Amino acid sequence: MDRHSPRVLCACLSLAALAFAVAGSLNAAGPGAGAPAAVPNNGKPMSPATAAAFDRLKSLLGDWQGTTPDGHAVRVSYRLISGETCIQEMLDSSEGGGMVSIYCPDGDGLLMTHYCAANNQPRLRATKLSGDRNVLSFTYVDASNLPSEKIGHMHRLEVTFQDSDHFTQAWTYRNDGQDGTEKFTYSRKNG
């Protein structure tokens, strides 16, 4: 039978429609509904501390508005990606220049890759996952497109969860061995 025959075409279209229907029903049930349990590391489940930290980050899903230390407006949004195994953060400030960060379970920890406006991509790992549940601290591991650590790059991030509608981020930028930290304050965007 020719692969372009009407019968083969109908069968392919039927399978595609079924796949879209199943995907639509999972999405209609909300984020995380019907998703497989998070298994980030070669089929091994996350440790309880990693799962709790990742769930804490998932509490940020949605849109947020905030301010920089000098009063400029900033927006950030969070969504699940990659089969709901990672979280994408999209940061946009009124000063221009959006940035993206991706948070993923990695072995027995959380790894964040920050796609920076400085044109490098530092990777930071969450530390002390079993400590204070209201604070997640990420520390520099390495970076792509960074020929020397003397060149400016994000070196640390501390996320503090105040309540379900408020959180802060303290971003530390390192340039030539000198650190500068800026704290962003966010509120959940209503409607």
Q: Is 50 exceeded by the pLDDT of residue 15? A: no
Inter-residue contact 66 to 186 (CB < 8 Å): yes
% of residues, the chain, pLDDT over 90: 61
> Structural domain boundaries of the chain?
48-188
Task: Determine the CATH number of domain 48-188.
Answer: 2.40.128.20
Q: What are the tens digits of pLDDT across the range 97-123?
A: 789 999 999 988 999 999 999 999 999
Inter-residue contact 65 to 75 (CB < 8 Å): yes
Q: Is 90 exceeded by the pLDDT of residue 30? A: no
Residue with tokens 């994408």: 88
- Give me the pLDDT at residue 161, please: 96
Inter-residue contact 40 to 106 (CB < 8 Å): yes
In the structure, what pLDDT confidence band is assigned to residue 127 with cuts at 50, 70 and 90?
confident
Residues paired with 114 in a beta bridge: 101
Inter-residue contact 88 to 81 (CB < 8 Å): yes
Q: Is 50 exceeded by the pLDDT of residue 86? A: yes
* CB count in 10 Å sphere of residue 18: 10
**Is the pTM higher than 0.85?**
no
Q: How far apart are the first and last CA of the chain?
A: 54
